[in-house]
Structures are given as structure tokens and as C-alpha cells.
């Protein structure tokens, strides 16, 4: 038994030195105190990292199909009234959303940015004082109202009971409304007067749209849009203006849901137009992103990068439709963020590495200082004897 204990004693990697042989120094005490503080700070840092989740980032090819893309926006136009701004969206698959009104809200603002009114409907309100009927006569007592579409109706029984109905019927035909006052509905609703009443105002337009997850664009531009000879155009004649100021500020623009750490580069961006007219363009690269939090709740969202370009008119002719255009394309690479905790074994390994590393380095420093002091002391003693 004694032989076994003796063999175990010989394996001791930490041989003990009698305290009578210890030599304690002032420099050793300072180094010990400093190394203890460093150990404590590194331990607290490692403990915080262990208690809080860390985010792991991976890249992979995006193989998702048939999904939609939600675009959230909040844009302010200080020099364009709400009456004339329309929102359109289209993509390379051929799908179009013209003059989008669903989930889109407009706030009239004054020159100081104060909100005057909020609405989701069209300009003006319906006034039913003996309006023009579909058959050409005026509305009589107990007669059902059915307004004329002025040749733009798709069927004999179609009615255009408001100025917006007439403009929409014209849009589907690819026609432009040259003078709204020639249309009974627009005249009675005071279409042009409503636009004049908003002269000098601005507009804050916000909401969201759902589009196909393919490359496309959406834009804010004056006038009602329609297709003419397979070309997307806007009817600007009813507003009787020679120029449109599309200065704007993007309060918020995002693709998909918010997730922790997301940075949308266009939030707070603004631009001021100095020429009489032109088209401001944003070219956006959308990167699909999946965020999984510590509770394994999955958020499907997107990040994006952007470049900008202004296309102005040339030689007195309008070469570009006035408005703010956002052209977006999708990246084939998907970014995945995953929140997770550091394992306890990893934490324990790091703590041991901190203690052992600091202890070893401080021992080397202490040894260097101690032997340096002894060497200097010996040289000083030799110098005295000489």
C-alpha cells in the first residue's frame, strides 16, 4: 500500500515548496494584484457572453418558390398634393397593380409638415344634384342613377357614377382625360377645384403592398396610370401643370418584417429637386433573410442595398416621367441569422484558459522583473567595491 501511495506521490505535477524558502517582493505583489483584476474583468466578460445569446450567420442558396414580397413604405412629398399622387407596382412576370389604394393611406400636410387630414379614398365627394344619366338625360324623381362613361364603358349596362369611375374607365381603355370639367361627374364633384384647394400642400403616403417575389418596380408619380400601345404612361393633362416637384423624404422603407439588428439604408433619406422636372430612381438589391431567435421563432424578412440616380429632362422636352421609382431585384443568396447560447463546457473551457493564461503570463513578467532587479543590484554592488 505504501508503495502505491509513493508512486502516486511521484506523479504530483505541483511539487510544494516550504514556506521558509519563499521570497516575496513588492513587484510580485503589484503584478499579482494587476493580474487578479485582469482575470476578474475577463471572467465577467465571458460570463456576460455566456448569459446572452450570440447570433450565428450563414449563407445559402435561396430555393424558395411561390412566395410574396411585402413592401412597407412611408414617404413624404413636401411639394406634391395628395390629389395627384398615385402608386403603381409591376414586375417582370407581367403583373401590374395600378393606382393602388388598398392598405395605402395619404396625409395632407402643410408647408410646415403639419398634418391637415388623412384619407384613403379618391378626391372630392359625390354630389347628387340632378347628375347626367347614362342615357343622356338628367336624373329625375325616383329614377335610379346610372352615370355616363362617355364611350369608355365595357358593356351597355356599365355605370360611371363618380369622377373616379370615369377616370378608371378611361384608364382601362388607354385614354387620357384632357379636361375634367367636360365630364359631368368631375365637374359636379369639383375635381379641379379640389386640386386647386390643395395647392401649396404636401403629402405623406404610407402603407404596404404585396407583390410577387420576382424583380419589378413600384413608383409614386402624379396622374392616373394606364397602358397605351404596351407603354406605361400617366395622364397628367387633368392637373394642368407644366412641372412637378418630386422632392421627397423616405421616412421608412423595408421589405418584409422587422427583425433585431436590421438596417434599412433608405430610412431617413431625402432628396431635393432643383430642376423643373425629372425622375428619381432607386436601384435596390433585396437579400432574403431568415432570423431565428433564441425561442426558435422564425422571421422571414429581407435586407437590401441601394444605389440612386436622377434622370432629368433634356432640351426642353420631358424625357422621363416625373416621379420616384424603386427598381428592385432579388439576390439568389439567402442570409440566415440564428440566435443561440454558448454551451457550458465552452464557457468552462474559456474560463480555464483565462485563468491559466493570465497566471502564466504574469508569472513570466514577475520572473523577468525579479531577475532584472537582482542583476541591477549586483552591478551596483560591484561598482561600489571598485
What are φ and ψ of residue 382, in 5° steps?
Answer: -65, -40
Q: With respect to CATH, is domain 54-116+202-340 assigned 2.60.470?
A: yes
**65-69 own/partner pairs: CB under 8 Å, 24+ apart:** 66/213, 67/213, 68/210, 68/211, 68/212, 68/213, 69/210, 69/211, 69/212, 69/213, 69/255, 69/256, 69/286, 69/302
Average pLDDT over residues 122-150: 56
Q: Whole-model pTM? A: 0.68
Tally of CB atoms within 10 A around 364:
10
Q: What pLDDT was estimated at residue 250?
A: 96
d(CA 324, CA 222): 10
Least confident range from 6-10, 33-37, 52-56, 155-159: namely: 6-10
d(CA 272, CA 247): 4
> Is the pLDDT higher at 89 or at 128?
89
Structure confidence at residue 111 as a pLDDT band (50, 70, 90):
confident
3-state SS, 136-149, equals CCECCCCCCCCECC
> And the C-alpha cell for 147?
352615370
Tens of pLDDT, residues 331-376: 999 999 988 877 788 888 888 998 888 888 888 888 888 778 778 8
Burial class for 378, CB neighbours closer than 10 Å (0-12, 13-18, 19+): exposed
Structure confidence at residue 142 as a pLDDT band (50, 70, 90):
low
Q: What pLDDT was estimated at residue 334?
A: 93
Of the candidates 76, 138, 150, the one whose C-alpha atom is nearest the C-alpha of residue 108 is 76
Mean pLDDT of the chain: 80
Angle among Cα 203, 208, 294 to the nearest 5 degrees reads: 130
> Is the pLDDT higher at 252 or at 118?
252
Q: What pLDDT was estimated at residue 270?
A: 93
Q: What pLDDT was estimated at residue 317?
A: 47
Structure confidence at residue 279 as a pLDDT band (50, 70, 90):
confident
Q: What pLDDT was estimated at residue 156?
A: 75
Q: What pLDDT was estimated at residue 327?
A: 96
> And the C-alpha cell for 182?
367636360
Q: What pLDDT was estimated at residue 133?
A: 52
Cα 296 to its chain centre, rounded Å, is 23
Where in the chain are the domains? 19-53+343-382, 54-116+202-340, 130-200
Tens of pLDDT, residues 320-331: 678 899 999 999
Task: Name the one residue in this structure whose C-alpha cell is 347628375.
Answer: 131
As a whole-number percent, the residues of the chain with pLDDT over 90 amount to 26
Amino acid at each position: 500500500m505504501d508503495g502505491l501511495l509513493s508512486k502516486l506521490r511521484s506523479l504530483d505535477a505541483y511539487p510544494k515548496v516550504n514556506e521558509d524558502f519563499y521570497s516575496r517582493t513588492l513587484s510580485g505583489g503589484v503584478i499579482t494584484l494587476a493580474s487578479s483584476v485582469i482575470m476578474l474583468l475577463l471572467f465577467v466578460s465571458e460570463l456576460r457572453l455566456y448569459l446572452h445569446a450570440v447570433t450565428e450567420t450563414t449563407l445559402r442558396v435561396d430555393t424558395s418558390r411561390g412566395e410574396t414580397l411585402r413592401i412597407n413604405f412611408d414617404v413624404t412629398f413636401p411639394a406634391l398634393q395628395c390629389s395627384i399622387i398615385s402608386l403603381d407596382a409591376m414586375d417582370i412576370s407581367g403583373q401590374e397593380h395600378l393606382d393602388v389604394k388598398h392598405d395605402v393611406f395619404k396625409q395632407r400636410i402643410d408647408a410646415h409638415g403639419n398634418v391637415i387630414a388623412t384619407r384613403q379614398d379618391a378626391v372630392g365627394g359625390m354630389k347628387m344634384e340632378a347628375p347626367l344619366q347614362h342615357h343622356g338625360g338628367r336624373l329625375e324623381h325616383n329614377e335610379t342613377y346610372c352615370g355616363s362613361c362617355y364611350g369608355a364603358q365595357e358593356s351597355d349596362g356599365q355605370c360611371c357614377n363618380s369622377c373616379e369611375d370615369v377616370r378608371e374607365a378611361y384608364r382601362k381603355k388607354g385614354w387620357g382625360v384632357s379636361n375634367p370639367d367636360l365630364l359631368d361627374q368631375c365637374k359636379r364633384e369639383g375635381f379641379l377645384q379640389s386640386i386647386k384647394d390643395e395647392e401649396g400642400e404636401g403629402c405623406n403616403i404610407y402603407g404596404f403592398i404585396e407583390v410577387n417575389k420576382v424583380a419589378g418596380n413600384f413608383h409614386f408619380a402624379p396622374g392616373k396610370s394606364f397602358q397605351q400601345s404596351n407603354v406605361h404612361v400617366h395622364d397628367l393633362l387633368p392637373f394642368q401643370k407644366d412641372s412637378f416637384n418630386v422632392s421627397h423624404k423616405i421616412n421608412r422603407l423595408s421589405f418584409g418584417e422587422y427583425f433585431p439588428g436590421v438596417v434599412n439604408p433608405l430610412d431617413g433619406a431625402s432628396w431635393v429637386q432643383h430642376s423643373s422636372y425629372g425622375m428619381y430612381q432607386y436601384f435596390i438589391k433585396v437579400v432574403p433573410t431568415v432570423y431565428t431567435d433564441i425561442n426558435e421563432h422564425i422571421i422571414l424578412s429581407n435586407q437590401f442595398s441601394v444605389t440612386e440616380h436622377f434622370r432629368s429632362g433634356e432640351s426642353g422636352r420631358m424625357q422621363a416621367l416625373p416621379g420616384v421609382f424603386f427598381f428592385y431585384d432579388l439576390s439568389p443568396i439567402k442570409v440566415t441569422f440564428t440566435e443561440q447560447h454558448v454551451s457550458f463546457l465552452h464557457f468552462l473551457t474559456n474560463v480555464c484558459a483565462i485563468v491559466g493564461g493570465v497566471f502564466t503570463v504574469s508569472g513570466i513578467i514577475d520572473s523577468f522583473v525579479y531577475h532584472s532587479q537582482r542583476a541591477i543590484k549586483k552591478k551596483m554592488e560591484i561598482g561600489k567595491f571598485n
